Amino acid sequence: MKLFSFKICLYSFLVFAANVFAQFTKFEFPSFPAAVNFAKLDTAELVLSSRATISSSLQVPKTVAVRVQQGGRFNINSGKTLRFVGVFNAGPHQVFKAAARSPSIAAR
- Asked whether residue 35 is domain-assigned, the answer is yes
Residue range of the domain that includes 59: 8-107
Asked whether residue 58 is domain-assigned, the answer is yes
Q: For residue 15, count other CB atoms closer than 10 A to its CB.
A: 10
Residue 1 lies inside a defined structural domain of this protein: no
Region 11-37: what's the mean pLDDT? 59
pTM of the model: 0.69
- Structural domain includes residue 2: no
Confidence check: pLDDT of 34 > 90: no
Inside any domain, residue 103: yes
Is there a domain that residue 49 lies in? Answer: yes
Q: What is the pLDDT of residue 107?
A: 58
* CA quadruple 90, 36, 14, 65: dihedral, nearest 10: 20
Number of domain units in the chain:
1
pLDDT greater than 80 at residue 4: no
The CA-atom distances, in angstroms, between 45 and each of 1, 23, 25, 35, 69 are: 24, 12, 11, 10, 13
d(CA 92, CA 25): 27
Residue 3 lies in a domain: no
